[in-house]
A and B are shown apart, each in its own frame.
Chain A
């Protein structure tokens, strides 16, 4: 009788990730790093139009490494629902929901001009607190990091949020909550160390 052959159930595996490297901006925000004339604009630089509904907010922050050093070569992307809690998975919309921002070469600040998102449902029907999904790529990051940004003026919704509820060490929840300052929300991300941001395996 033949021995069973090890045969994977699915034909292929996901391509393994590799770091974005130090020159990620050449590919993803070429105008930002001085390569002009190839694309009219950098994708994801503008998220809202005059027609976009909802409260305009600025979201800005910095990314730090485990030594407390500022990353000036990070790339941050966000994906969010609109003010009514709807994700726009279409290229034709007054609000794309997707933004891409390079860290500033000196200050390390990333900045998005967007709207405050509405609430969306979790699969079990509970409502999630307003949040922005974040993905970070940079030299030294082997696989893009997923995190979220919540809002400090949504304490009640945050307290009932099913994802925040999954965080075992409760003192770490604050690493996901942006601080309101006027029309801006300020949110720093720490890749490692005592203030390490919660990252997700989604």
Chain B
């Protein structure tokens, strides 16, 4: 849909006390990378309420299978086989269909396929660490991977990231753009992590913690973790749109 008309829907303001603050000195890299001046606020225009669309033609058959998408023929990635399933919702609880979700992660030993990662754990020749998919009409998405390992990082003398998968999500408007991380329930490193602790509200951390879903797991194959992603909601402008909103 092309659009040059004034917007009919504004996004709910971002709750910046729910998100991490920019300056979180226990996560050291944020010290010099955090704006210190006030953000300038203005109501959404079409520049913010519109956003790019992605079609199914960009998605390859193995894009949502990290066990196979980098593996040699007949091979597969090493590690605990898991599936991640969930829905993309907005703050009204409505599904957000047709949006691009990208994910990346360390391998089962906690090592990234990146020249700047020098951790002792070996690379897995059959694991690249990236994947992507589109949410369905009901907002649902799924992918298969191996559970990433925790790993040490140099923020402090002995600090470890909990096992996590990075997520990048598009909504329908550029102002919904979001990057976050998914954690695994029961991981004792979650509450110790300075990056997790940039978030002030335990409920917000809980929302980023995927839960084991035995019912959706594949017997003798893979456990399933459930992780819903919530994007900013939007409101209609009364009279410009429908009285009942959207």
On A, residues with C-beta under 8 Å from B are 10-28, 30, 33-35, 37-40, 43, 65-67, 69, 71, 73, 77, 79, 81, 84-92, 96-98, 120-123, 125, 128, 131, 133, 135, 137-146, 148, 162-163, 166-168, 172, 191-192, 196-202
Contact A128 B45 (CB under 8 A): yes
Q: Which residues of B contact A26 (CB under 8 A)?
A: 104, 112-114, 128-130
Contact B30 A142 (CB under 8 A): yes
The verdict on A166 contacting B232 (CB below 8 Å), with A11-B92, A120-B45 known, is no
- B residues contacting the other copy or chain, number (CB 8 A): 97
Q: Which residues of B contact A16 (CB under 8 A)?
A: 18-20, 180, 199, 201, 204-205, 207-208
Q: Which residues of A contact B217 (CB under 8 A)?
A: none
Nearest chain A CB to B129's CB is how many angstroms away? Answer: 5
Contact A66 B36 (CB under 8 A): yes
Q: Which residues of A contact B54 (CB under 8 A)?
A: 43, 91
Contact A18 B42 (CB under 8 A): no
Contact B40 A166 (CB under 8 A): yes
Interface: B168 (CB within 8 A) = yes
Nearest chain A CB to B68's CB is how many angstroms away? Answer: 10
Contact A35 B207 (CB under 8 A): no
Q: Which residues of A contact B208 (CB under 8 A)?
A: 15-16, 18
Nearest chain A CB to B112's CB is how many angstroms away? Answer: 5
The verdict on A198 contacting B177 (CB below 8 Å), with A18-B208, A27-B103 known, is no
Q: Which of B1-52 contact A (CB under 8 A)?
A: 1-7, 11-16, 18-22, 24, 27, 29-37, 39-48, 50-52
Contact A12 B174 (CB under 8 A): no
Complex alpha-carbon distance, A19 and B33, angstroms: 11
Q: Which residues of B contact A87 (CB under 8 A)?
A: 2-4, 46-47, 50
Candidates B1, B32, B63, B179; contact of A17 at CB < 8 Å: B179
Among residues of B, the one whose C-beta sits closest to the C-beta of A98 is B52
Contact B230 A12 (CB under 8 A): yes
The verdict on A96 contacting B52 (CB below 8 Å), with A11-B93, A35-B128 known, is yes
Q: Which residues of A contact B233 (CB under 8 A)?
A: 10, 14
Contact A23 B104 (CB under 8 A): yes
Contact A38 B130 (CB under 8 A): yes
Complex alpha-carbon distance, A26 and B232, angstroms: 26
Most B CB within 10 A of own CB, among A168, A192, A199 = A192
Task: Identify the 9 closest CB pairs spanning chains A and B, nearest first.
Answer: A27-B104, A140-B29, A91-B55, A140-B33, A98-B52, A142-B20, A201-B39, A16-B204, A18-B181
Q: Which residues of A contact B47 (CB under 8 A)?
A: 79, 81, 87, 120, 128, 131, 133, 148
Complex alpha-carbon distance, A84 and B117, angstroms: 45
Candidates B41, B45, B50, B166; contact of A20 at CB < 8 Å: B166
Candidates A19, A30, A123, A138; contact of B7 at CB < 8 Å: A123
Nearest chain B CB to A22's CB is how many angstroms away? Answer: 6
Most A CB within 10 A of own CB, among B52, B100, B203 = B52
The verdict on A35 contacting B50 (CB below 8 Å), with A26-B104, A27-B103, A85-B4 known, is no
Nearest chain A CB to B61's CB is how many angstroms away? Answer: 12
Contact A202 B36 (CB under 8 A): no
The verdict on A17 contacting B4 (CB below 8 Å), with A39-B60, A133-B48, A142-B30 known, is no
Complex alpha-carbon distance, A89 and B168, angstroms: 19
Q: Which residues of B contact A137 (CB under 8 A)?
A: 179
Contact A65 B33 (CB under 8 A): yes
Most B CB within 10 A of own CB, among A17, A121, A135 = A17
Interface: B133 (CB within 8 A) = no
Most B CB within 10 A of own CB, among A25, A28, A39 = A39
Q: Which residues of B contact A88 (CB under 8 A)?
A: 2
17 further contact pairs, Cβ within 8 A, besides A16-B19, A18-B198, A144-B177 = A11-B93, A14-B230, A20-B168, A27-B166, A30-B130, A67-B32, A73-B116, A79-B47, A86-B2, A89-B1, A123-B44, A131-B47, A135-B177, A143-B22, A191-B35, A201-B13, A202-B42
